Amino acid sequence: MRKLKHAEVKILRENWWEAQGKRCALCQQALKKDQAVLDHDHHTGVCRGVLHRGCNSLLGKVENNASRYGVSEAMLSAFLHGAATYLQEHRTPRSNFIYPTYRTPDEKRLRRNAAARARRAKEKA
């Protein structure tokens, strides 16, 4: 293994992007060149693949903060695999219950309007 020079990052990213079929290595969706970033392991520094900027950011946040939430490094891949399955299974509702703090778009709109009316009334007074 060798450490890349800064000038080599762009070349490697473009080569891997082509080799990956111009798809994100994580989500497998089409990847535009201007959204492609070279991902690396923050513990070892080893380059792993080319990802969407957003996929890379979210992956970094998950990896860097997992221990804060009680997910050990050993559990992380199992968690992510389970999360993918769990989210896929729950794309359509599987219960008739809605969490108490959830607000529908209409409820959010009504609250915003009420707050705006209250502000205007306060400014008039």
Average pLDDT of span 65-80: 92
Cβ neighbours of 24 (radius 10 Å): 23
Average pLDDT of span 41-65: 95
Q: Which domain holds residue 116?
A: 1-125
**pLDDT score of 73 more than 90:** no
Counted domains in the chain: 1
Supply the CATH number for residue 36's domain: 3.40.1800.10
Residue 80 contacts by C-beta under 8 Å, 6 or more apart in sequence? 62
Is 36:17 a contact under the CB 8 Å cutoff? yes
* % the chain with pLDDT above 70: 100
User: What is the pLDDT at residue 43?
Assistant: 86
User: What is the pLDDT at residue 125?
Assistant: 85
Residue 101 pLDDT class (50, 70, 90 cuts): very high
Average pLDDT of span 1-15: 95
User: What is the pLDDT at residue 4?
Assistant: 95
Tell me the angle at which helices 73-89 and 53-65 cross, rounded to the nearest 10 degrees: 130
Residue 53 contacts by C-beta under 8 Å, 6 or more apart in sequence? 35, 36, 37
User: What is the pLDDT at residue 53?
Assistant: 97
